[in-house]
Structure 1
């Protein structure tokens, strides 16, 4: 059975923890008008003479009037309303890729790390993965692939498990949607 001392210690520790968490999670209160005080200068007449009304008749005959009364400047506090902080503006993005386009590029690179593809073959694969045609083309175009090298890799892959004539390999690469030039590059890369 816990003693009173243990219970009081647990309660006290819980209370301290509560106040710490409350202080950490409570949002800061916005500044009130009373918190924001600015000062503006105010001209105060310190002479004993009453202020003179300006008649608007400053002519040469009135030039020999009494000297102007001495004035001093004092600071009088005035209260101004706080100005709200400007809302943060999002940093401009360095490129204008959509999320789907970025995903298509990542997926295209992933496929190219796994197997060799022609441009059109990669687009077809991305479309199979439910990317729109535009995003699939964007992904293939921005994957960084050298399509000639992709044809060479595909040709080496075919030659590793089957025998091909030059014409047969070129036909197979064209079937995989490589261009004629890319298919010939692939055949040349494997020595055919």
Structure 2
């Protein structure tokens, strides 16, 4: 049984008259409620997104630092390689220059040695030529022996050995007499023919006897045979 209050009975709750809220007020309450819920959800989503984004940003930083470190190492290695290459190139150039200088020095030494040898050879040739010229001119004694030999040949015939003997008889040395006789302009075959004719002018000879006489006078066998043949024997 429902209780009575202050002399009147209290209606049960289900029998009370309900107040009807205007539609606009109700819509306002719903909008405010939804806004609050949406704000709480967005904050939760932002927080969750921030929490999930934080590890990704850290990884990006670490990756950027690793990349920068790798780039620095690569740059350092490239610089070291360039420095080593420059040093190698400089060394190769220095070695090439040193080799070129050594080759030039050796070539200069060889040319100087060749020039010295050529000068020495030229000096030897000049000395030999002067010696030969002096030998050809002969000493005063040799020149006198040469004139004497030519005088003897102007009036009579001689063999080579016979003329040397004649100059020795005139007291020229064997060397001077030989030097002089070797330098007279004479045909020994003609001298043999003249000598054979002279012998026949004052005495008689057989062919072989006259050949033997010419050989005895110092003519060679060939010269004697030629000379006798010129007489008609």
Aligned 8 A contact 2:150 2:184 in 1? yes
Looking at secondary structure, tell me which structure has more strand per residue: 1
1:172 equivalent to 2:208? Answer no
Aligned residues: 101
Partner of 1:99: 140
Deviation at 1:137, TM superposition (A): 0.6
Partner of 2:186: 145
SS state of the match for residue 121, structure 1? helix
Higher RCO (CA < 8 A, seq sep 6+): 1
Deviation at 1:179, TM superposition (A): 0.5
Aligned 8 A contact 2:157 2:195 in 1? yes
Partner of 2:160: 119
In 2: Cα distance, 1:189 partner to 1:138 partner: 29
Deviation at 1:140, TM superposition (A): 0.9
Deviation at 1:117, TM superposition (A): 0.4
Partner of 1:131: 172
Deviation at 1:162, TM superposition (A): 1.0
Deviation at 1:96, TM superposition (A): 3.2
In 1: Cα distance, 2:163 partner to 2:223 partner: 15
Partner of 2:150: 109
In 1: Cα distance, 2:208 partner to 2:172 partner: 34
- Runs of 4+ aligned structure 1 residues displaced above 3 Å come to 92-96
